[in-house]
Structure 1
Amino acid sequence: MRRCHDGKPWWKDAVFYQVYPASFKDSNGDGWGDIPGLVSKIDYLAELGVDVIWLSPMYESPQKDMGYDVSDYQSVYSRYGTLRDVDALISACHARGMKLILDLVVNHTSDQHRWFLESRSSKTNPKRDWYIWKPPRFSPSGGGERLPPTNWRGYFATSTWTWDEQTQEYYLHLYHSSQPDLNWENPACRRAIYDEAVRFWLDRGVDGFRIDTVNKYSKVTSYPDAPVVIPGSPIQPAPEMWCNGPRIHEFLREMRAQVLGPRGAVSVGELSNTPDPEQVMPYVSAAAGELDMAHEFSTIRLGTGGNIFQGKYLYEPFGLPALKRSVEKWQVFTEGTDGWHTAFIENHDNGRAVSRFGDDSAPEPRAASAKVIALWQATLTGTLFLYQGQEIGMSNMPRDWKVEDEYKDVESLGFYKEALESGDEERLRRTAEGLRILARDHARLPFQWDDSPNAGFTADGVKPWMRVHDGFREVNAEQQMQDPGSVLSFYKKVLKLRKEHGDLFIHGRFRLLLPEDESLFVYVKESADHIVGPDAGTKRRAVVVLNFSSTERRLPDVGAALGLDGQSGNLLITTFGEHKIPSEWADTLRAWEGRVYLNFYT
């Protein structure tokens, strides 16, 4: 395993940056972002402080779910480029000391993948068992009505089963009907996955994978009905039937042992429906030999209504104490163990952080709250993941954009359609409101590069695949690169500081203070190891003070938290940019201000 200079795995200290290829940079004027466009901006990412690019799916695909429906693992979607373009990206990353990981989507394929086309061709095809096929049930009323094998409800507000007329059976799909699930119980299928989807790309030089839906490969193979929790509905949430299933750890150990481990490939798992630390630890324990780290979604999904299967977009407001409790839970769960975790607050499946946790109502609070979010994320223990546009404070779509006109995501439209067809006007209103806050589409708007037409994402006169945010002239990378007080400039500063004080912020212990305060988010970070060099024999303690509100707040007793008597410690950084806090603000936090104070001790 490749390790950094102090013996720790290199990926622990790295900053990962997710690129959504359709929306990052269009190089050829067709309205879609592409890999050559990404290569053209590689120096921008290097200067930001990025160590690893995570490229969302760029494989050949019908794009029913934006590339998460793969029809050929070894080809590139034509709008994104070619295999040569991927090779050029790998070379560009490695030439700058950066790494590249791909999105590994192997819970399911597209229904246009040659494996599935063979599987559905006949019941006797050798690949029939590479997917999950079941005969129908029939109505117990005696009317002969054909029913799906189970009552399971999938992620996109539909049944998990689709009828295939040709072979007279149903196939399983946890997501869209165009995304049939692979049968991981079949060893030949697993070997093909390892060869075609993993080794092929490792041989080309990629450095690892973010592994999509990583805990869903093992299903409860007796296929029982799920308990009825939505009265009157023929389909019911059933995550217990496919999340963290009976053979999942066996499958992941095998994949690690056979392909990922021998190549030193980093693995980051998407671990949904796993809200308890004791469930997560087996996946990320070094001794277990499964994943290097995982994305757990309790924090990023705050505000989600009900559950992710029904009422997901019936938004439920939450206070700062709820956010703090969630962060604390996932900051401390690996302490004293051989496990590792991640820090992130944005990705391609969620609304923008500044619109959900900050204040995007006007330019000043938007920028100030974006910096508070940056300081918060950069001082959390674990490997840091950023999402494109987060570093310039990109926000959600304008609230006056209509769902039926501007939203494109298959999940968003599925929930909206379900609410529309319910005939319940209040449910439809609340669903639309929730989508304006939480929808996956918000993160998929084109990147705002400059103030030229189409925000510099694509050429003037070209219609981008998704509408550019109306506010791109006020929020764009070019403008912020020239402004030392911008959100982008602050991200560069704080990412550098994170690495300079890695013992505190990447590897340090977390202790929450003032858990019930509705405005202040305050925590102590304590270095995990003694410092080497001139300060050998000492340790460090930092206090992070974040005002998550639009009002001034009195500064809490920082000195006491640092273990000092009558002193406040050394100011390490403030979101307002001063090297020294002006005297009139010494004891007061301004609206949306964050500070970090530092102390050495023995």
Structure 2
Amino acid sequence: MEQGITQPSVKSQHLWWQNGVIYQIYPRSFQDSNGDGVGDLQGIISRLDYLQWLGVDCVWLSPIFSSPMADFGYDISDYQGIHPLFGTMEDFDELLGEVHNRGMKLLLDLVPNHTSDQHPWFLESRSSKDNPKRDWYIWHDGKADGGLPNNWLSVFGGHAWEWDEVTQQYYYHAFLKEQPDLNWRNPQVQEAMMNVMRFWLDKGIEGFRVDVMWHMVKDEQLRDNPPFPGSTFDPNDLIYDHYTPVYSTDQPEVHEIVHMMRAVTDEYDDRVLIGEIYLPIHKLVTYYGQDNKGAHLPFNFQLLTLPWDAPAIAMAIDEYEGALPAEGWPNWVLGNHDKPRISSRVGREQAKVAALLLLTLRGTPTIYYGDEIGMRDVAIPMNEIVDPQGLNMPDLNISRDPARTPMQWSGEINAGFSTHKPWLRLPFNSGRVNVEKQKGDMYSKLHFYRKLISLRKEHAALNVGSYRPIYADQQLISYVRESGNERFLIVLNLSHRPAYFKPRQESYSGTVILGTEIERIGMQVEDIITLGGDEGLLIRLS
């Protein structure tokens, strides 16, 4: 690992989304202002001072648009309306202004792959075969024997084709049947969605996170997806992951659509386009586009999906750095609304090591609300599950509810989130694990996050500096961040046992400026460094 990948010299000028920290809010669960048990825009406004105190630069909101809520906002019935649960357009305008008043940016979730089945576009499309909007969605006859058009499955379980009795055809839905997929091969669909983007950009938002970007275009011939290698083929098997979605996702033409979205984004100054893309690295990096005219940040989910294993993660970081196009800017994600929380995946103590990794790697980090206080997945009784993914496949225990529970603000009733019973239950320990309690404890995870974010802002080497891997073994990852005369060594023990940093060629000495154990700060280190289990160090090199 001594011979590392090096980057081109750091550019003199970086954009806000390159040196900033993004903070994801799941609006239903951040703060309830009107006592109905569901978070809302006014609630978010009331907590912006906290986000400013924490040091984040950009707030990303999961969907707040008009929706029947079959998939909690990812089934949109009006792309230019606000759901009454969250407030009004006036509330949104106030939120945007208050975010900007604090020197922060605001991103919205764009869900272009599918709409709600209650969207006026779809109501027209399904009204008759000759309706002008019929081709706005993916309709198809069944096979001659009466079978489905192909074997494509829904991510949420079951077949992805829904029969429409009125027009005697099937329509395609990659997710719920209430979420019909748009036909992105239709130029009218393309123009309509570009105008949706312009509507919000004209309001002054700083950009979009684009939902399931790699799903947007499907194989024109509707060919069957093959079984996943090694799986036992069973035509009655209706579990999405048992097939490889080579024809229903990641088609070559999707890059033309991403290029269109980037062109619209570039009509405005200093905006950013982020893509949700769960693909291997060699495919992920293609979404930067030719001449870097695709997504500014194709989301990199390796820290979400890989086993928490030092050799695997060290290799993945280097593979990613090596695969990036020349002008491509990296990014990293530890948690989001679709995956188990980091503290549940790797444990409470190791989650601090993960935070140190997230906030010292080269590239833009995204923090999921509550991770900064160590929120864990909450055990939701089966009779309280509301997530359609969990309800449709109960035997797989894949509900996303446990990672979407209300923010734990204080020891008050309902953790200060609401005066009413929250839409999802809180953990039993929310009286101990909350923002208010951790704000008063300098040893807390919250203060650790705040200090890390502050150090990122203070030091160009940690912010936009180069990355060079130094040493990795079965327990450790280590690397150097450098800019000008500043050099920092980061050493992370991803195991629960003591470990030893033993560089093979260079000599390293310096001062610990932050560690998962606060007592380490100020200590001098040299050459072989001993780390305890679940320990990470940030060292300013001499």
Fold match (TM-score > 0.5)? yes
Q: Does 1:290 align with 2:294?
A: yes
Q: Deviations over 1:357-407 (max 9, x none)?
A: 2x2xxxxxx2x4332222111111110100000111101124xx43x2233
Please give the alpha-carbon distance, in whole angstroms, between the structure 1 residues aligned to 2:285 and 2:226: 27
Shift of 1:512: 5.2
Match of 2:488 in 1: 542
Distance 1:5 1:482 in 2: 39
- Distance in 2 separating the partners of 1:213 and 1:396: 23
Indicate if the aligned counterparts of 1:268 and 1:295 stay in contact, CA closer than 8 A. yes
Contact 2:107 2:209 in 1 (8 A): yes
1:455 aligns with 2:460: no
Aligned residue for 2:341?
A: 352
Asked if the contact 2:372–2:445 (Cα under 8 Å) also holds between the matched residues in 1, the reply is yes
Look up the match of 2:500: 555
Partner of 1:478: 436
Equivalence for 1:221: 220
Q: Tell me the alpha carbon deviations over residues 533-584 of structure 1, each in whole angstroms, 9 at most, x when there is no partner.
A: xxxxx4x433212223333x143236x67x33xx63222221222333499x
Residue of structure 2 equivalent to 1:575: 516
- Which aligned segments of 4 or more residues in structure 1 are displaced greater than 4 angstroms? none
1: distance between equivalents of 2:413 and 2:113? 39
Note the alpha carbon deviations across 1:481-538, whole angstroms, 9 max, x for none: 11111111111100111122233454421315223x1xx33211242x5x2xxxxxx4
Q: What's the offset of the Cα at 1:87?
A: 0.4
The percent identity for this pair of structures is 39
Query: Matches of 1:452 and 1:545 in 2, distance apart?
Result: 39
8 Å CA contact 2:344–2:376 kept in 1: the answer is yes
| RMSD of equivalent CA atoms | 2.2
Structure 1: gaps spanning 5 or more residues: 140-145, 304-317, 360-365, 420-430, 532-537
The CA deviation at 1:42 is 0.3
Residues 342, 582 of structure 1: CA spacing in aligned structure 2 closer, same or farther, 3 A cutoff?
Answer: closer
Q: How does 1:42-441 map to 2 (within 5 A)?
A: 42-139=48-145, 146-195=146-195, 197-229=196-228, 230-234=232-236, 235=238, 237-257=243-263, 259-264=264-269, 265-272=271-278, 274-277=279-282, 279-284=283-288, 287-302=291-306, 319-334=309-324, 337-357=326-346, 359=347, 366=348, 368-398=349-379, 401-402=380-381, 404-416=382-394, 419=395, 431-432=396-397, 435=398, 439-441=399-401
What amino acid does structure 1 have at the position aligned with 2:479?
A: V
Contact 2:470 2:479 in 1 (8 A): yes
Distance 1:554 1:213, change over 3 A: closer
Q: Is the 8 A contact 1:450 1:473 kept in 2?
A: yes
Contact 1:393/1:487 (CA < 8 Å) preserved in 2?
Answer: yes
In structure 2, distance between residues paired with 1:130 and 1:152: 19
Whether the 8 Å CA contact 2:406–2:425 is kept in 1: the answer is: yes
Higher mean C-alpha deviation, range 12-21 or range 340-349: 340-349
> 1:477, 1:106 → 2: CA distance?
35
Amino acid at match of 2:312: A
**Which amino acid in 2 is paired with 1:599?**
L
Query: Is residue 512–residue 524 contact of structure 2 (8 Å, CA) maintained in 1?
Result: no
Q: Which residue among 534, 537, 540 is the counterpart of 1:592? A: 534
Shift of 1:477: 0.3
Q: What one-letter code is carried by the residue in structure 2 that aligns with 1:269?
A: G
Number of aligned residues = 522
| CA apart distance, 1:253 | 1.3
Q: Does the Cα contact within 8 Å between 2:511 and 2:524 map onto a contact in 1?
A: no
Change in 2 beyond 3 A, CA 1:5/1:510: closer
Code of the residue aligned with 1:28 in structure 2: it is N
**Contact 1:524/1:541 (<8 A) preserved:** no
SS at match of 1:176: coil
Cα distance in 2 for residues equivalent to 1:341 and 1:159:
36
Q: 1:276 to 1:343 in 2, by over 3 A?
A: closer
Q: Matched residues in 1 for 2:215 and 2:436: separation?
A: 41
2: CA distance between counterparts of 1:193 and 1:490? 41
Equivalent position of 2:6 in the other structure: none
Tell me how far apart the structure 2 counterparts of residues 385 and 81 of structure 1 sit (CA, whole Å): 26
Rounded to whole Å, the distance in 1 between the matches of 2:464 and 2:387 is 34
Tell me the TM-score normalised to structure 2 length: 0.91
CA distance in structure 2 between the partners assigned to 1:238 and 1:110 by the alignment: 26
Give the direction of change, closer, same or farther, for the CA distance of 1:591–1:299 in structure 2 (3 Å limit): closer
| Separation in 1, partners of 2:99, 2:463 | 25
Deviation of the 1:88 alpha carbon? 0.6
Q: Indicate the SS of the match to 1:490.
A: helix
**Does the aligned pair in 1 maintain the 2:353–2:534 contact within 8 Å?**
yes
Which SS does the other structure have where 1:544 is aligned?
strand
How far did residue 329 of structure 1 move? 2.5
Letter in structure 1 aligned against 2:343: V
Seen in structure 2, the aligned counterparts of structure 1 residues 513 and 505 have a Cα distance that, compared at 3 Å, is farther
| Distance across 1 between alignment mates of 2:470 and 2:179 | 42
Q: AA paired with 1:580?
A: G
Q: Is the 8 A contact 1:383 1:506 kept in 2?
A: no
Residues 332 and 394 of structure 1: CA distance in aligned 2, closer, same or farther (over 3 Å): farther
Contact 2:152 2:248 in 1 (8 A): no
Is 1:525 aligned to residue 516 of structure 2? Answer: no
**How far apart, CA to CA, are the structure 2 residues paired with 1:228 and 1:492?**
46
Q: Structure 1 residues 227, 281: CA separation in 2 closer, same or farther (over 3 Å shift)?
A: closer
Q: Which runs of 5+ in 2 are unaligned?
A: 1-9
Structure 2: distance between partners of 1:502 and 1:183: 44
